[in-house]
Amino acid sequence: MSFEYILFDLDGTLTDPKEGITRSIAYALEKLNEESIDEQTLESFIGPPLMESFCEVYGFDHQKAEKAIEYYRERFKQVGLYENKVYPGIDELLSLLKKKGVKLAVATSKATIFADEIVKHFKLKQYFDVVVGSNLDGTRSAKNEVIHEVLKQLSFPPKESVVMIGDRKYDIIGAQKEGISSIGVCYGYGSQEELELAKPMDIVQDIQELSKYLLNGQ
């Protein structure tokens, strides 16, 4: 199937942000005098909105979660942003899609200001027509809201021409709420089971398989 517009999640789909995010979460918890948590639980923060994660994983109320996010960003904007790496093969895939004339966008729950800095720093900005994330005040953090803003900035293309690529159920559910197709990727931070339960159009195991899927239809 050929798509004219492809939306990519950022964390766990374009880049591996594990080191920067988990260290910044640990920093925030330390500042709040909370006990540290195991690595697997720290990894669960990759993908969902931070407010949701601090409330669900740690049981924080809204006020305490806001303080945790403030501490998280204190470290993340200085150091954590750059403790990140582009997945091998992503640069080549984006380049080929761009050459084919596909419109590309980033749709992430990460704050737009950070997402924009990351794609610039890792020299991916050149491929994207639109980079949209959440607002620093916590608004537009739900994935469907982010996707809606992307579609708006792309002048609301026909929904059958758009696909969302992501590694977590939030990407798939957000796409469904906006009426567009989605593809789950298993090389990020969502399990095969999580993605299957969300029911995307398809699931791919690695970037090589994703490349074949996206380029064969072009």
Residue-level pLDDT at 38? 86
Q: Which two tokens stand for residue 58?
A: 């740690």
Residue 218 has pLDDT above 50, yes or no: no
Residue 109 pLDDT > 60: yes
- What pTM was estimated for this model as a whole? 0.91
**Which two tokens mark 26?**
């640990």
Domain ranges of the chain: 5-16+85-216, 18-82
Do 214 and 97 form a contact (C-beta atoms < 8 A)?
Answer: yes
Cβ proximity of 183 and 163 under 8 Å: yes
Phi-psi region of 181 (alpha: psi -120 to 50; beta: other; left: phi over 0): beta
Active centre residues (catalytic): 9
Instruction: Kindly state the tokens that stand for 39.
Output: 């690595």
Report yes or no: 114 and 81 within 8 Å, Cβ to Cβ. Answer: yes
- CATH entry, 18-82, from 1.10.4160.10, 1.10.10.60, 1.10.150.240, 3.30.70.270: 1.10.150.240
CATH class as words, domain 5-16+85-216: alpha beta
Strand partners, 104: 6
Q: What percentage of residues in the chain have a pLDDT greater than 90?
A: 86
Which tokens in the block code for residue 87? 């997945």
pLDDT 10s digits, 127-167: 999 999 999 888 898 999 999 999 999 999 999 999 999 99
Name residue 103's beta-bridge partners. 5
At 176-199, the pLDDT tens digits run 999 999 999 999 999 999 999 999
